[in-house]
Amino acid sequence: MASCSRCGKAGEKEPAQGKARSLVTIPYEQGLGAGRILVYCRECWTEMAEHIAEVIPLEMVSPSVLLDLYRTGKTTSDPFTACQLVFGHAEPELVREAQALIHSHCG
Ligand SMILES: [Zn+2]
């Protein structure tokens, strides 16, 4: 289970309510859509809610959900780092696909 990017709480032994992790995107600049992917516990994203664009419970995040964030321009986060954060490891094929989606927005 991924630990919180902000407070570092792992909470693997207490997957109870309030300890669940969520994928969040934090826009690099206010008002711009593309954000950085991080994993926050409920406490942290509640505190940071005004800075966060997207919140997706980690158990709902599949590779296709992650790719959708890239496809829709909601993130330009480094795919390798993002995959490690969210899935605990970076699948090379998934990283490549996400990179291609980032580049498709640049041209
Ligand atoms: Zn936290």
The secondary structure element, H or E, covering residue 106 is helix 92-106
* Ligand 1 center–CA 92 separation, angstroms: 28
Pairing of strands 35-41, 54-57: unpaired
The pLDDT averaged over each successive group of 10 residues in the chain (107 residues) is 84 57 90 86 93 94 97 95 95 97 80
Closest CA to 62 of 37, 29, 86, 27: 86
Q: Which residues surround ligand 1, an ion (CB under 5 A)?
A: 4, 6-7, 41, 44
What is the rounded CA–CA span in Å between residue 55 and residue 38? Answer: 10
Per-residue model confidence (pLDDT) at position 20: 84
Q: Please give the distance, rounded to the nearest whole angstrom, from the Cα atom of residue 100 to the centre of ligand 1.
A: 31
How many alpha carbons lie under 13 Å from residue 67 in its C-beta half-sphere? 13
The DSSP bridge partners found for residue 38 are 24
Residue-level pLDDT at 11: 55
d(CA 103, CA 81): 17
State in Å: Cα 103 to ligand 1 middle: 31
pLDDT at 107: 55
* Distance in Å, CA 104 to ligand 1 centroid: 33
Domain boundaries, the chain: 21-106
CA of 5 to the centre of ligand 1 (A): 7
